[in-house]
Structure 1
Amino acid sequence: MNSRRWGALAAVVVAAGVLAVSAAATPGFAATGTTYYLDATGGNDANAGTSSAAPWKSLGKLTVTTFKAGDQILLKAGQVWSGYVWPKGSGAAGSPIVLSSYGTGARPRIDGAGTVGSTVKLHNQQYWEVRNLEVTNTAPATGTAGANLKDLRGIHIDGDNGTTLSHLYVDNVYVHDVTGQVNWIGGDTAGNAPGVTFQTGWDNSKKTGGIVFDTTVASITAPGSTPTILNDLVVQNSTISDTSFAGIVVKQYSGDAAGATATGWGNRASASDANFRPHTNVVIRNNYISQANTAYGCNGVYLTDVRGALVTGNTVYKAGTSGIEAYFADNVTVEHNEIYQTSKKAGGADYNGIDPDKATTNILVQYNFVHDNGDGILLCQFAFGSVIVRYNVLKSNTRYPIYLHSDKAATADIYNNTIYNNVSGYLTYGYGSSLAAKYTIRNNIYHSTKANAVLTASSTITYQNNLYAGTLTIPSTDTSAKTGDPKFVNPGVTGPYGTAASGPQLKTALAYALTAGSPAINTGLAISGNGGIDYAGGALYNGAPDIGALEYGAGSAS
């Protein structure tokens, strides 16, 4: 196996309930401030709190204290607190404030119990790192269906002060069972149900979740002209499960709550819209996100209003609506993720693995294993957009493995993907005005065991040099089409798949590597700017180019 690729993806996601590590081991961080300790059973708020022998006791002590650059706030492992924590103050560049744990045992648990909006909160603060905590916020049932669903969050980092707030990191946390409302931007109010509301507008929608970064304004009637921008956001090495609306949310204020003429920065009228002021430099990596046990968990990652983002090394399991979605975003790379078994929940219309959605430009979707969802990859670039989809393995997606659903001003370049279909009547599908976008589809393997699976044709879709296997109607525009058995290593493989303990099982997709004699070997088109490596990190090209996501003989299947 190519060490450059798979070595970098060794599982670092820590399963729920395992031993916490000391915050003093924070990489690259040398403590220069004061270290404070909190012990729920052995502490006393009358103590100095600056040693493990004389710790504070309550979360309230943290909430009334203003901390300084370099300070550490350490909660004792194995202890449980109820309520919320909002420590005050900001760190500085190179000297963040760290909220973490000490000792050995389970992560310290903070339980909002549905009595607080956010269990862990930072507001108008920067240079913070939140590590090694367990966080939950479950509203108790009240006896009326949906009555316990409120606007709740687990970890909420926000601002409204018209400045740029930087270096906001969340690392090795376990956030779970956060109940909340599902408020949709549009839709039809006829679909309203307990805990689910349509037509709520941008600023009132999609802002509940496990970990939420968002911004607003201090006064809706006098919002000012300067946005609050969050910069250098990281969520990594964490487990987020059963959280409504989403596992991880990033969102900017739009102004729709105050009317169409209000000041806001979250909407994007064009690719160069100067009024669009997104959050910047976002990294979502090596997390396990599951919505398996909630009917209100709609997205794994909802990445909106960002410019410059990397979503990598994540496992997203049984989300509703979308595993990883970008919306009003620019310059986003989604790579090395496993997304599977996404299903429709809470009135959502979609159930896809990856979705570059409305007004998204310079989106790169590569090296992902997308399987057993409804749609595999949905290209839903309403208004405008540009996306490259390359070197992904798509397996057993039940509706549309590749769904073409963008507006006229959008473009998509789809090449060197391997699409294996054993359940759907479709391979690539689009309809109506969504076919007015420009789609270029080259060097892909389409292998269907379902006879006559549909490949939508249109004057705006260019099929070129794809390999078609199975009983298919080959698009007439593909004048260089290849046919025949691609001779995969082990098609139809059913695992292993990613878990909280293992991280993404990208190696499973090597079942779709080519074997000797495949008609995909050395018959591909040379494509410039192809990233230099295939799905598994093998160098491109090994001789002449191949068709599909895995280059034969490039080290990817060894």
Structure 2
Amino acid sequence: MRVRSSFISFICMLLVAISGIRCRAEQQSPASSNPVAYYIDSRGGNDGNRGTSAAEAWQSLKNIKQGLLHPGDSIRFKRGAAFTGPLYIYDSGTGDNPIVLTDYGEASEPAPSFTNPVFALNNYGNCVRVKGSFVIVENLYLHHTAAYVRGSYTPSSGWDTTVWEMGAVYIDKEAENCIVRNNEFNDCVVGVKSYGRNAVIRNNYIHDCNRVLKEWGWGPIGIWLGNDYQEASYNRIFNYSAVDPRIEWGPDGVGGGADGGAFEIDDARYDKSHISIHHNYTRDCQGFLEITWTDIKQHPVYKSFDIHHNISDDYQQFIAMWQGAECNIENNTIVRRKKNVNDWGVFNITGTNTRNRIRNNLIITELDIQIYNTGLRTSTNPQNIIENNLYYAASGNLVMGKEGPGTAPVFADPLLVKYSGADKPEDFALRTGSPAANKGLPGLFNIDFFNKPVKGMPDIGAIESGE
């Protein structure tokens, strides 16, 4: 009898507890069936308004505070409006109901603009700083963010991690499953900086920054990744390069006089894997990708990056990999016809026994630019797996370097649609009869630069000819 009474009491207590948990859960995560849209208009709004309609828009960012947003909510910035950051987003959406930062208004008006000219403690030139998960940032114009110049901020002691806080859009390590898409970044010393796992940075236009992000050891970076499980795809990044004799970093002056680039992976505090950089078009940047690590921690585990179906017409390297192994570098179209104070070759992979797979890439050089370089570290033996690449010197000599050409190389003019003056992706397509057609190996990725399915044997390069 006592057992039965105890059992009944236990069931009652359990039901009460479940009810309490359910009640608290409902209080903490309001139903997303009635999402709220907040409107902000810097020209015609008023911060005393409700903010929940275009007619009752707020004027500034000050009403956006922690706890305001719930899954499915959005913040809509009026086209033609202008704001100065940083805007902090602390709250999280869900997979089905993300929080969205977007635009509203007349399509003929310019996208809502954001800038931040201040670099100081807890204000690192960010326009939007995301700390919540499942947040989408889209359709904004971000411009002219502050650089870390001497005198703007002084760290207390030790290694200065301040540079890792920069980014016109910054995604915190706690912020997972965020998306940054369809934005324009103009003269931002760092376009997007992301530590958030499962972040997707897609279809952004990032252009024209020739300033150092930090005096005098760091050039501008379009997209900067500091953690694993991230994707950067379908972006256009143009003219990210700083050339100045005061720039100096790296051993033996390897980084003297110029720095910057389209993409960078670094911050050795976190091991990294499963980063995908694909279907991007870059031009006039100080390198396509640099993977580096020499900072707080030595020799982190960097592996399993996928770099494929990109078009790179830049200065300096396609990939400078100071650390990294077992990466797939496939079906890229790489043109190196420009040279300034730095020349690292096309592939500057300085690890030993890295076993990176380099295949199906179309590589055109001029000015005797070396293809497989190992920098000044002559003892390096990367042992990359090099297969089915096309090599062509449009002028000067074809300089293979320490590795290569690998198995089944093709040495021929690839017959691009347009080479001299090429300035758009379709110029790098193959003409009929190209020696690159059907000469690749079956790859891991079966959609070309223009999302055309690869049928049969793939072509060499980023764009399928259809032959």
* TM-score in same-fold range (> 0.5): yes
After TM superposition, list the pairs within 5 Å mapping 1:321-470 onto structure 2.
321-327=260-266, 328-342=271-285, 351-358=286-293, 359-375=301-317, 377-382=318-323, 384-395=324-335, 396-398=337-339, 399-431=343-375, 432=377, 435-457=380-402, 463-468=406-411
Structure 1 or 2, whichever has the larger Rg, is 2
Mean alpha-carbon deviation: is it higher for 406-415 or for 194-203?
194-203
Question: What are the ranges of 5 or more consecutive residues in structure 2 without an aligned counterpart?
Answer: 1-31, 214-218, 242-259, 294-300
1 CA distance for matches of 2:113 and 2:393? Answer: 44
Aligned match for 1:94, one of 84, 89, 96: 96
Contact 2:40 2:76 in 1 (8 A): yes
Instruction: Look up the equivalent residue of 1:291 and give its one-letter code.
Output: D
Question: Which residue of structure 2 lines up, in the alignment, with residue 294 of structure 1?
Answer: 211
Instruction: Look up the equivalent residue of 1:354 and give its one-letter code.
Output: L
1 CA distance for matches of 2:86 and 2:333? Answer: 42
Change (3 A) 1:450 1:213: same
After superposition, what is the alpha-carbon deviation per residue over 1:431-486, rounded to whole angstroms, capped at 9, x for unaligned?
A: 5356322212221111113443321235xx67211122xxxxxxxxxxxxxxxx43
Instruction: Look up the equivalent residue of 1:288 and give its one-letter code.
Output: Y
**Alignment partner of 1:135: what SS?**
strand
1 CA distance for matches of 2:54 and 2:417? Answer: 55
Instruction: Look up the equivalent residue of 2:172 and give its one-letter code.
Output: D
Contact 1:422 1:448 in 2 (8 A): yes
After superposition, what is the alpha-carbon deviation per residue over 1:241-275, rounded to whole angstroms, capped at 9, x for unaligned?
A: 2122x111113xxxxxxxxxxxxxxxxxxxxxxxx
Q: TM-score when scaled to structure 2?
A: 0.72
After superposition, what is the alpha-carbon deviation per residue over 1:334-379, rounded to whole angstroms, capped at 9, x for unaligned?
A: 111111111xxxxxxxx3112344543111111111013222x124
1 CA distance for matches of 2:56 and 2:351? Answer: 62
1 CA distance for matches of 2:261 and 2:348? Answer: 15
Aligned match for 2:62, one of 52, 56, 60: 60
**Alignment partner of 1:247: what SS?**
strand
Match status 1:509 vs 2:434: no
Match status 1:138 vs 2:117: yes
**Alignment partner of 1:66: what SS?**
coil
2 CA distance for matches of 1:521 and 1:58? Answer: 55
Aligned match for 1:306, one of 228, 250, 270: 228
Change (3 A) 1:387 1:34: closer
Question: Which residue of structure 2 lines up, in the alignment, with residue 201 of structure 1?
Answer: 159
2 CA distance for matches of 1:534 and 1:47? Answer: 49
Question: Which residue of structure 2 lines up, in the alignment, with residue 488 of structure 1?
Answer: 415
Question: Which residue of structure 2 lines up, in the alignment, with residue 168 of structure 1?
Answer: 135
Instruction: Look up the equivalent residue of 2:186 and give its one-letter code.
Output: S
2 CA distance for matches of 1:89 and 1:201? Answer: 31
After superposition, what is the alpha-carbon deviation per residue over 1:405-453, rounded to whole angstroms, capped at 9, x for unaligned?
A: 2311422111111111123432332253563222122211111134433
Question: Which residue of structure 2 lines up, in the alignment, with residue 532 of structure 1?
Answer: 446
Q: TM-score when scaled to structure 1?
A: 0.62
**Alignment partner of 1:508: what SS?**
helix
Instruction: Look up the equivalent residue of 2:130 and give its one-letter code.
Output: I
2 CA distance for matches of 1:285 and 1:545? Answer: 25
1:68 Cα deviation from its structure 2 partner: 3.8
**Alignment partner of 2:305: what SS?**
strand
1 CA distance for matches of 2:76 and 2:464? Answer: 48
Aligned match for 2:172, one of 207, 214, 217: 214
1:401 Cα deviation from its structure 2 partner: 4.8
2 CA distance for matches of 1:538 and 1:51? Answer: 42
1 CA distance for matches of 2:176 and 2:78? Answer: 30
**Alignment partner of 1:60: what SS?**
coil
1 CA distance for matches of 2:373 and 2:112? Answer: 44
1 CA distance for matches of 2:118 and 2:379? Answer: 41
2 CA distance for matches of 1:439 and 1:301? Answer: 26
Aligned match for 1:316, one of 213, 237, 243: 237
Change (3 A) 1:515 1:506: same
Q: Which has the higher strand share?
A: 1
Change (3 A) 1:401 1:530: farther
Q: Identical aligned pairs, as a percentage? A: 23
Q: RMSD of the TM alignment (CA)?
A: 3.7
Instruction: Look up the equivalent residue of 1:298 and give its one-letter code.
Output: P
Change (3 A) 1:424 1:78: same
